[in-house]
Amino acid sequence: MFAYVARQPIFNVNREVYAYELLFRVGEDNCFPDISPDEATSKILTSTHLSLGIEEITGDKKAFINFHRDTLMFRFPTSLDANKVVIEIVETVNVDDALVAACKHIRGLGYPIALDDYDMHGKWEAFMPFTSVVKIDITEIAHDKIPALVERFKANKMKLVAEKIETYEEFHKFKEMGFDYFQGYFLARPEIVRHRKLGPNNLTMLELLALSSEASLNLEKVKTIMERDPSLTYLLLRFINNPMVNKRHTINSLKHALNFMGEVEVKKFLSLLALANLSEGQPTELMQMALVRAKFCELAYLAVSKDKNSHSGFLAGLLSLLDAMMEQRIEDLVKKVPLDDGVKDALCGKPNLLRECLTLSQHFETARWAGIKQFAAKHKVNQALLHSYYNEAIKWAKHIHNAALDKD
């Protein structure tokens, strides 16, 4: 049995990642074939069955993991590191004294307990004395009833997660209501509450991005831009000399990089460098998501396209969150950069293969397994291969973000 995993970020009030909820599936179908959810959880969480280790997925963040009755009764969570996980009790679990005692014992060993999709049902009362986190799906409980719940849980020193936060309006509303954490897709959407003015550095970065998007790289123009800000050359060389990218040779100039690595690779690095600067002041998870999408779309596009220009897939993925970073409409932003029509259409939501690859990356982000299955069937590509691409993209993005784009 082979297990696939997706992750969904949980943000704090400052829009920084506090934890990831891990979502699993087993095999090629969107189900756990012939086994119970408890057995599936047990098999999935053993390192031999995970396609990517938990720590590689979450980094230094906590992992929220759903547990069903039997896995709790047999104390299965105790095989994990109590400092790195939060044990979610799913809302469908059958509650009795034995389960309450098991969960209380697990909490006594140092594992935080979270109630998933709290529905105000009386069966949860027995868990309240040892519950650390309560997750509330804002689409399932009337909003006028939530403030009283917040007041009650806060009085008992519990942390609150608002689930299904899809817009910044909802984020601000439930932040004001007193929630501690937020889970949903709101971060990937632009908060256009004001028209963000592009400063000189932003314009320079867009100019660099434009150069990296041209069919042929104009080295002299790139050098001119780099000379305006010496730190850009330093960051670019640091990026190119990263062991994840280049293990054998030390690159000491842009010209050297171009000769050694080739134009396509150097253009990727320039676009990465530009986007890293454009994303300053925004939550770091936005850049992390953009990096994952860039690598994943590059791999997926190469796998299903007759066009073997990997830069198209890479660039479409990388720029897919530019509107959220710049707080402007994507249709306005693409006018400022002379992008290939295929990339531009994909970013603006027009149907083409690049757009399908972008949508596929979003399926992975939100664990829409059926969408992944449909893509695989349509393009005659193995689902396991797509999952391996996504795992590779997560690892690549984490390494690049931590080691190459960190300016400290």
What does the block give as tokens for 356? Answer: 């399908």
Phi-psi region of 59 (alpha: psi -120 to 50; beta: other; left: phi over 0): left
Same structural domain for residues 183 and 206?
no
Same structural domain for residues 179 and 231?
no
In a domain, 194, yes or no: no
**pLDDT tens-digit map of 166-190:** 988 999 999 999 999 999 988 877 6
Contact 100, 127 (CB under 8 A): yes
CATH number at residue 25: 3.20.20.450
For residues 77 and 74, give the distance between their C-alpha atoms in angstroms, rounded to a whole number: 9
Same structural domain for residues 10 and 153?
yes
In a domain, 177, yes or no: yes
Same structural domain for residues 165 and 280?
no
Same structural domain for residues 213 and 166?
no
pTM of the model: 0.78
Same structural domain for residues 83 and 208?
no
Same structural domain for residues 306 and 160?
no
Q: Of the residues 188, 215, 240, which one is the last residue of a structural domain?
A: 188
For residues 360 and 376, give the distance between their C-alpha atoms in angstroms, rounded to a whole number: 10
Backbone φ and ψ of 336, nearest 5°: -85, -10
Residues 6+ apart with CB under 8 A from 53: 47
Same structural domain for residues 263 and 231?
yes
Backbone φ and ψ of 80, nearest 5°: -100, 165
Same structural domain for residues 264 and 377?
yes
In a domain, 120, yes or no: yes
Q: Of the residues 134, 167, 188, which one is the last residue of a structural domain?
A: 188
In a domain, 217, yes or no: yes
What does the block give as tokens for 20? Answer: 């990831």
Q: Of the residues 128, 162, 188, which one is the last residue of a structural domain?
A: 188
In a domain, 109, yes or no: yes
CATH number at residue 219: 1.10.3210.10
For residues 230 and 228, give the distance between their C-alpha atoms in angstroms, rounded to a whole number: 6
Same structural domain for residues 111 and 244?
no
Distance of CA 157 to CAs 149, 282, 402, Å?
Answer: 12, 30, 34
> What are the b/e assignments for 303-329, b being 16+ CB within 10 Å?
ebbeeebbbbbbbbbbbbbbbbbbebe
In a domain, 350, yes or no: yes
For residues 71 and 315, give the distance between their C-alpha atoms in angstroms, rounded to a whole number: 43
Range of the domain at 163: 3-188
In tens digits, what is the pLDDT along the chain, a chain of 408 residues?
A: 445 677 889 999 999 999 998 877 655 554 444 445 555 565 556 543 454 567 777 888 999 988 888 788 877 788 788 888 999 998 888 899 999 999 999 999 999 999 998 988 888 999 999 999 999 999 999 999 999 999 999 999 999 999 999 988 999 999 999 999 999 988 877 655 444 555 556 777 777 887 777 777 787 888 777 777 666 766 767 666 666 555 666 766 667 766 776 777 778 778 887 877 777 778 888 888 998 999 999 999 999 998 776 678 988 998 899 888 887 888 888 887 778 889 999 999 999 999 999 999 999 998 888 999 999 999 999 998 999 999 899 988 887 776 555 544
Same structural domain for residues 13 and 101?
yes
For residues 304 and 320, give the distance between their C-alpha atoms in angstroms, rounded to a whole number: 20
Number of domains observed in the structure of the chain: 2
Contact 380, 214 (CB under 8 A): no
In a domain, 136, yes or no: yes
What does the block give as tokens for 127? Answer: 């868990």
Same structural domain for residues 269 and 337?
yes
Backbone φ and ψ of 79, nearest 5°: -80, -5
In a domain, 396, yes or no: yes
